[in-house]
Amino acid sequence: MRYYVTSDTHGFYAALETALNTAGFFEDAQPHKLLIIGDLFDRGDEALRLQEFVLEQMEKDLVILIKGNHEDMFEQLVTEDKGLPYGVHVHNGTYDTALQLTGFNKTLAEIRHYDFAEAAMRTPYYQKIIPAMLDYYETKNYVFTHGWLPCYPTKSGSYDRIEDWRHALKDSWKRARWYNGMDAFRTAYDDKTVVCGHWHASYGHSRYEHRGSEFGEDADFTPFMASGIIALDACTAHTGFINCMIIDDEELTQPETAHAQGEI
């Protein structure tokens, strides 16, 4: 199977379309799928168009979706926080995404925050897209996930590996979606190459290759690759582009634990 792998689209549909056109996704005649490894929305202003596109690909069975920390935040906004504009949701763009997807304006959303939350829960994003998301997707040689695999952060700043990470509990996966894979992979590795997003790739180039800065004119936001890791987040809100990597690999039957049903 050929996989067109992207990460952290963050509501920038035009940038995603450009990346997929450049990679040849739309013209590919052989079996292929789009694999988005988390954080569909919460930065750009094209949430409705991106939602429509994802639904189209789901209908065609051409997309695999991995859950990111921003999906967790959307669920928190509309359930636990009842649509209230708490700072974490406003700062991270989650609140703006809910406004875009529901058609509410800010004033009405604040006054009628219960109705706003209920409207957000009726969106295709909440009803169809998020429930279809996996904690990870695995092929013969790769594991695709958002931040990193479930593991244990240590006081020294490293991470302790969990051997049976596939059976990790839901909360372990939620924490792992916030991890910086470019730090974690050095001690919390797997036998397969882990393809991740969440943290801007320029971090790895700067910190571990000593090449360029994280956000200066010399920053490199192309994929960071080392033994055991490929990090894809192009920090699209800053750069304007999305990384898309083509990976050909053998499909596997996905276990139920891809939806975090484990015991750790």
- What tens digit of pLDDT does each residue of 82-103 get? 999 999 999 999 999 999 999 9
264 has a pLDDT exceeding 80: no
Q: What is the pTM of this model?
A: 0.95
Over range 59-74, report the average pLDDT: 98
261 has a pLDDT exceeding 60: no
The answer to whether 232 touches 197, Cβ cutoff 8 Å, is yes
Query: pLDDT over 70 for what percent of the chain?
Result: 96
- Return the CATH number of the domain spanning residue range 2-68+133-259: 3.60.21
Residue boundaries of the structural domains of the chain: 2-68+133-259
129 has a pLDDT exceeding 80: yes
Over range 67-79, report the average pLDDT: 98
pLDDT score, position 253: 80
Over range 144-148, report the average pLDDT: 98
